[in-house]
Each structure stands twice: as structure tokens, then as C-alpha cells.
Amino acid sequence: MTKKTAVSKKPYDFDAIVIGTGPGGEGVAMQLAKAGKNVAIIERYKSVGGGCTHWGTIPSKALRHSVNRLIEYNTTPLFSDNHTNHTLTFSEVMRQASGVIKNQVRLRSSFYDRNRVSLYHGEASFVDKNTLKVVRADGSEDTLTSKQFAIATGSRPYCPEDIDFSHPRIYNSDTILSLDHDPKSIIIYGAGVIGSEYASIFRGMGVKVDLVNMRDRLLSFLDAEISDALSYHLWNNGVVIRHTEAYKSVEGRDDCVILNLESGKRMRADCLLFANGRTGNTDMLNLSNVGLEADSRGQLKVNKNYQTEVDNIFAVGDVIGYPSLASAAYNQGRFAAEAMLEGATDDRMVEDIPTGIYTIPEISSVGKTEQELTAHKIPYEVGRAQFKHLARAQIASTKVGSLKILFHRETKEILGIHCFGERASEIVHIGQAIMQQKNGGNTLDYFVNTTFNYPTMAEAYRVAALNGLNRIFND
């Protein structure tokens, strides 16, 4: 009689399940899949890409690009003598953004197909530390088990309960993308990155903009000169900025929105965009079933390996807070995957993460600000290049802006790069690359001795470096 051999069954359906298909989730899933792991990824929306693709980075930057081209057309001398100003409605501009979103979804979907990552659409919630329930839009359910999990569910706009966001004239930074009328005026409450970007976009379309800021200056984390440059540029273009204000109530009417401020001021506009903070998407995960608890902002605590207090559950992206950037989230995902594979990660986020703010013009910076260096009593000097003096900027009619290099006056080590102007988010990476050089490679001398193509915007580094060296003197 032949003895039957018991067939061993894998204890779990997957080696790892990732919740969320934004940059962080994609980074985890791709790294694990390429290491040969059996991976599933969950997306509650009908298409992959997360908030970055559908409601945040991609659509807002596509909007900005279209509006910036419109501004260029209306202000370029080549055309200005032969036409009246051209205008576009918000919905017309959104059509171009929609095409970009579709292309991004198609590309990102192909990544999961090629790497054999199982994709499930539905709302995910924990049953226990190794089991996940996924509820589809039609109400049907899947129960999936896994050895490890990565939470990359992103964030959503903070929406106070005393404001009626169902009103057709009251929007947050997600719902503003569905704006289907042509407002002549808008109030933007919240002057952070999102509020400042949309202030630029709407003003570029000729909409009257009131920007309400709870702080005493715009984007206070920036170098003060750059913040002041943005404030001046918005003011010069007609944006009314109200600092140190807080809302008391919002009245949605049939023909307008009234914003009542704590200071007693009353403001009226065709619509309101509330852009004051974001909340991590963790409330639907049933974290209590695994012994986890998010903070008041929906964020989770993680260690240096992106591991939560539950050893087999990791988290990346907006749900862990700073820096809340799509670029950083992808790298966090990769590093978390390494920790899931090896028990720890040797990689670290680079110390100096560049900031890109897509106002019109752009802002980008990396490294220390003048205020930080002064507070730490570091002897620094400044090198500046005004874009209006660069041949490439004159040719392209992008003369607004400047590049500022902060460097140690004794060692000439580069300490910070700050750029305001068109293509700033591209230009800053040249300085970032040099700042990462070791063994004395990070000095101002690189920009002085390197030959730059002419004419280019990159030439601003040579101009700024020479300007800075001229400020150094010997006793």
C-alpha cells in the first residue's frame, strides 16, 4: 500500500500586501516583486496612482503648466501686438490635465502587470495582524492573508465639520478639480503650498483671488528672501493676501460664498477653496484590530526602518508625516521594502531633500536657509544670480527670479540652494548633486571651474558662485 505524502500548504496567501497605489505603495510593491516575493496591492479607487496621480501632484501641476503657457502667450511681445488677451475656463484647462492623468494610470498599471503584482480594488481593513478584508464597490468581499503589510494610504484634505463641503460653491483641494463653472472671484483659505499654488493658477486665469493666511508670512519654512519674493510677486499680480487671520464661519449662498473671519472681516467671492491641512487615510483600516492607533492627524509612528509598533506592519508616505512629498514617499517605499526583506535597511533618505513648490514662478530649495545658519552661528556667505541678467532667460522671457547659493565663507562648502523663477524645480538639482559629493567635492569651486553650456539657466550657478566669492575678503 502506497503511503500518501501530505501536501504542504503555504501559511499565507501572499508574502506581502501593500495598501495604497500612490508613490509610497508603488515603491514597496516594485521592490518586493523584483526580489521575487508574492505581492498584492490594494487600491480603493477605480484606477491606480493614488492621490498623487488623481487629485494632487499630477493634476495641479498639469493645470499650472497650461495656465503658465497661457500667461506666456498673453505677455510675449511676439504676439501681444496682434491679438487681445486669450482666456480659458477652468474646465477647459482641466481637459489637458485629464489626458496626463490617463497616461499616468496606464503607465503605472503596466508596472503591476509586468511584475506580477496582484491588484485588488476595494476598501481594505485589518481583521488581525495577518488578515485583511477587502470590500469591493459592489459590496462583495475578499479575505486575504499575508506575512507582512505596508500601509501607504496617503492623505486627504482636512475638512472641518462646521463647513458644508457639499455646497456647490465650497471646495477642498480634491473637489476643486471638478469645478465646472467660471468663477470671477475666489477665496483661498490656507496659504500653505497647495493654497499658494492654486492662488497662482487662478490669478493666472484672470480670477480675482483673496488668499487668507493664518501665519504672519507665506510658507514660513522657506528662506525669508524667497518667501518675500513670492509674496511680492503674488501682490504685484493682484492677489490680496490677508495674514494672521482665522475663519469664524462660512456661509454658502446660491450666488456666492461669505467668509467671516475672527477679526470681524467679511469676505465674499463666487467660490471658496479650503486648503488648510491634510489628514492621513487611516481611519478606515480598523487599526484597533492589530493594536495600532493613529494620532489626531491620522498619522502613524514608525522607526528608522519604517516599521510600526506591530512588527509585521510597515508604513510610508503621507501617513507617517514629514516630508509628505511624492518623491520622498517612493524612496521611503523602497527602503521599507528592504527592511521587510532583510529585517533592516542600510539606506537612508538623503539629509537634504529638495522642496519644489509649483507656484508661478516656481520655488525650489535644498539645504539650510539663511535664518537657520544665522541661528546656529555658522559663518556663511551668499552668492546671487538674477535671472534677468542671463541670456537664456532674456531669450525665453523668463526674467523674473534668481538663484541664491549659501556657502561656508572659510571652507566654501555649499550649505543651501534657493531658487525662485521658472524651472526652479529643475535648476535646483544641479546644486543638490554637488551638495551630495563627499571628500571635499562639495565646494563653490565646482561652479567656478566648470564650463556650462551657453546660453542656459544652469549658467546661473557660475554667476552666483563668482558673486559669492567677490564677497569674501581677507583681513
The pLDDT tens digits of the residues spanning 185-242 come to 999 999 999 999 999 999 999 999 999 999 999 999 999 999 999 999 999 999 999 9
**Residue extent(s) of CATH 3.30.390.30 domains in the chain:** 361-469
C-alpha cell recorded at residue 334:
523602497
Residues 6+ apart with CB under 8 A from 2: none
What percent of the chain stands above pLDDT 90?
A: 85
Residues pairing with 151 in the sheet: 19, 315
Instruction: Label each residue of 215-248 as H, E or C.
Output: CCCCCCCCCHHHHHHHHHHHHHCCCEEECCCCEE
Determine whether domain 14-156+279-342 maps to CATH 3.40.50.2000: no
Q: What is the pLDDT of residue 439?
A: 85
CB half-sphere exposure, 22, CA atoms < 13 A:
32
Is the confidence at residue 180, as pLDDT, over 90? no
Phi, psi of 418 (to 5 degrees): -135, 125
Instruction: For 221-230, give one letter per residue: b (16+ CB within 10 A) or e.
Output: ebbebbbebb
Element (H, E) at 382: strand 380-386
**Cis bond upstream, residue 323 (ω within 30):** yes
Please tell me the class of the 361-469 domain: alpha beta
Residues 6+ apart with CB under 8 A from 99: none
Answer yes or no: are the C-beta atoms of 444 and 462 closer than 8 Å.
no
**Known binding site for FAD: residues?**
43-52
Nearest to 47 by CA among 95, 98, 93, 96: 98
Q: What is the pLDDT of residue 84?
A: 67
Q: What is the pLDDT of residue 76?
A: 76
* Cα 46 to the center of its chain, rounded Å: 22
Say which residue, 456 or 74, is predicted with more confidence. Answer: 456
Eight-state DSSP code of residue 406: E
Residues pairing with 443 in the sheet: 413
Please tell me the class of the 170-276 domain: alpha beta
Q: What is the pLDDT of residue 83?
A: 61
C-alpha cell recorded at residue 371:
535664518
**Known binding site: residues?**
43-52
Average pLDDT, the chain: 93
Q: What is the pLDDT of residue 52?
A: 92
**Residue extent(s) of CATH 3.50.50.60 domains in the chain:** 14-156+279-342, 170-276
What percent of the chain stands above pLDDT 70?
A: 96
Average pLDDT on 393-415 reads 95
Answer yes or no: are the C-beta atoms of 170 and 164 closer than 8 Å.
yes
pTM of the model: 0.92
